[in-house]
Amino acid sequence: MIGDARDGSASASERRVHLRFEDGAARDIEVAPGELILDAALRQHVPLIHQCRSGSCGTCVARLVDGTVEMLRDRALSLMPYEIAEGRRLTCSARALSDSTLALDYPGTLIFGGDPHKAPHRSTLAATVRTIEWPVESIARLVLELDRDSEFSFHSGQYARLRIPGTDQWRSYSMATTARDLPAMEFFVRFIAGGAMSEYLRTRARLGDTIEIEGPLGAFILRPGAAPHIFVAGGTGLAPILSMIDALRRQPGRRPPILLCFGSGGEATLFARDELELRQWWMPSLEVRLSAGRVDSPSSGILKGTPIDALREDDAHDPASAAYVCGPPGMIEAARRRLAAIGVAPERIYVEQFRPSIIGDPAIAYASTERSIGVKVER
């Protein structure tokens, strides 16, 4: 090797990057000069979780522990300046300027197997539309049934990409049901005028249609443990959290205390309230607080404000508490700050952002919760 590996200068030698996973597993990879860290990892059979490969979805985020890792300058990235200052790096858009250590916030078993639930193998399958209904005006509930003999499994919190029939467009949605419910899979789709999936559901969809599914995807998964759980969900961000709550009900050992703060813009868009009531009956240790920006019926018990406002000072009195947040980007940061302020350890705050469907299109409001990763219409 030429040059001092730690002087941060751009030398013409390979850098060694030490990848450390949440469960203590680790891998070392060699990153060539100018090579993106994710590419190097994939090349050396370390399948780091990623999706868009363009710096937008945030899935491939890692935390720089040691060394120098520089982000590409010619890409718009989804990291905020303060996140970069805190050490976060998107491995799909980063180069190593010196030997470095990066920490991933998911267990190595998720990608290397050995997990009793087996790292689910990613595949493309066909599923049939069994139910389309509109529990509230702007949100569709879609239930698909995987074809018989499909081999598919997932961890609660993961998502799948669905191909809109008759198009080459794919959209990503979190499973609201658990692997135990397979072959049934339930999704919630926020209706967006002009959105590809929304228009399909509104005008063309028929029961019995076939939809291709790719997955499972994502690192936003439920970690094992009996510590109290705090869930913060905004809009259709409730979907992966519903899956997690159902998984908690069936996990071995004692059920932990669970708090769910679920919010939406208007009271009328709080969907799945009956499902949440059922869960509250089945699980005495589950507390649900509903929030809405606009509350029409004051006696309903719905709190005015955001689901973050609904958090209280003593909700995380147990220092081992874990928090899971899912919703629009603005909500994520506010939730992270508030959770840390009430005492949740930062490394136990897990987040998943829902991003707008067409990247860079200013016409799509930031509050959109239909998510698509790296979609470019094929020409």
Partner 1 sequence: MVANNPASKLPPISRQYAPYIEADWGFKNTWYPALFSNELAEGGLKGVSIGGHDIALRRARGRAWALADRCAHRGVKLSARPKCLTDETVTCWYHGFTYGLEDGILKTIVASPNDPLIGKVRIRTYPVVERAGIIFVFVGDEEYAPAPALEADLPIHIEDDANAVPHILDDNVYVRGIHRTGNSNWRLAVENGFDPGHLLIHWDNQIVAATDRKLGLGVEPITEDAIKVVDVPDGPKGIMNMYNLRAYKFIMENPAVGLKARGKKPYYARTSTYLPGVLLVEHWPIPGWAQYEWYVPLDDKRHEYWEVLVGRCRDEDERREADYLYDHFFEPLALKDFNDNDLFAREAMQDFYQRRDGWNNETLCAFDKAVIVWRKVAARFNRGIQEPPVYANSR
Question: Is residue 133 at the binding interface for partner 1, with CB under 8 A as the rule?
Answer: yes
CB of 224 to partner 1, least distance (A): 10
Identify the DSSP state of 358: S
Examine residue 312 and tell whether it contacts partner 1 (CB under 8 A): no
Minimum CB separation from partner 1 for residue 195, in Å?
14
Q: Which stretch binds partner 1 (CB under 8 A): 22-30, 58-66, 119-127, 202-210?
A: 202-210
CA 208 to chain centre: 29
CB of 286 to partner 1, least distance (A): 11
Minimum gap (Å) between residue 25 Cβ and partner 1: 22
Cβ of residue 118: shortest distance to partner 1, in angstroms? 13
Q: Which stretch binds partner 1 (CB under 8 A): 162-170, 229-237, 247-255, 335-343?
A: 247-255
Binding partner 1 (rule: CB under 8 A), the pick from 131, 167, 210, 300 is 131
Q: What angle do CA 36, 38, 43 make, to 5 degrees?
A: 100
> Is residue 321 helix, strand or coil?
coil
Which helix H or strand E contains 107, and what residues bound it?
A: none
Query: Considering the rule CB under 8 A, would residue 201 count as an interface residue with partner 1?
Result: yes
Q: 245 by DSSP, 3-state: which?
A: helix
281 binds partner 1 (CB under 8 A): yes
Task: Tell whether residue 148 is a contact of partner 1 (CB under 8 A).
Answer: no
Contact status: 10 vs partner 1 (CB under 8 A): no
Least distance (Å) between residue 273 CB and partner 1: 14
Q: What's CA 71's distance to the chain center, in Å?
A: 22
As measured in angstroms, the least distance from the Cβ of 145 to partner 1 is 11
Residue whose CB is less far from partner 1, 123 or 131: 131
Using CB under 8 A as the binding rule, whether residue 116 contacts partner 1 is answered as: no
Q: What share of the chain is helix, strand, coil (3-state, %, to 5)?
A: 20, 30, 50
Minimum distance of partner 1 from residue 272's CB (angstroms)? 13
Residue 255's Cβ-count burial label (10 Å; 0-12, 13-18, 19+) is middle
- Output the DSSP codes for 298-309: GGG-PEES-TTT
Which bin fits 156, alpha (ψ -120 to 50), beta or left (φ > 0)? Answer: beta
B/e letters for 349-371, b = 16+ CB within 10 Å, e = fewer, are bbbbbbbbbbbeeeebeebbbbb
Instruction: Pick between residue 242 and residue 310 the one whose CB is nearest to partner 1.
Output: 242
Q: Which of 117, 249, 273, 304 binds partner 1 (CB under 8 A)?
A: 249
Q: Which amino acid type is present at position 100?
A: S
Return d(Cα 132, Cα 130) in angstroms, integer: 7
Among 123, 282, 305, 341, binds partner 1 (CB under 8 A): 282
Which residue, 112 or 191, has its beta carbon nearer to partner 1?
Answer: 191
> Which C-beta is closer to partner 1: that of 72 or that of 227?
227
Binders of partner 1 in range 47-86 (CB under 8 A): none
Between 16 and 202, name the residue whose CB sits nearer to partner 1: 202
Q: Measured at the alpha carbon of residue 314, what is the angle toward residues 308 and 316, in degrees to the nearest 5? A: 75
Instruction: Give, for 109, the enclosing helix (H) or strand (E).
Output: helix 109-112
Match 């078993």 to its residue by tokens. Answer: 109
Question: Least distance in Å: CB of 151 to partner 1?
Answer: 10
Angle, nearest 10°, between helix axes 238-250 and 273-282?
A: 20
User: Going by C-beta distance under 8 Å and a sequence separation of 6 or more, which residues neighbour residue 82?
Assistant: none
Size of the site for partner 1 (CB under 8 A): 24
Minimum separation from the CB atom of position 274 to partner 1 (A): 9
Cα separation, 342 vs 350, in Å, equals 15
Is the Cβ of residue 279 or residue 355 nearer to partner 1 in the bound state?
A: 279
| Stretch of 15-23, 55-63, 77-85, 248-256 contacting partner 1, by CB under 8 A | 248-256
The structure tokens listed for 333 are: 């940061």
Residues in contact with partner 1 by CB under 8 A are: 131-134, 143, 201-207, 226, 249-250, 252-255, 278, 281-284
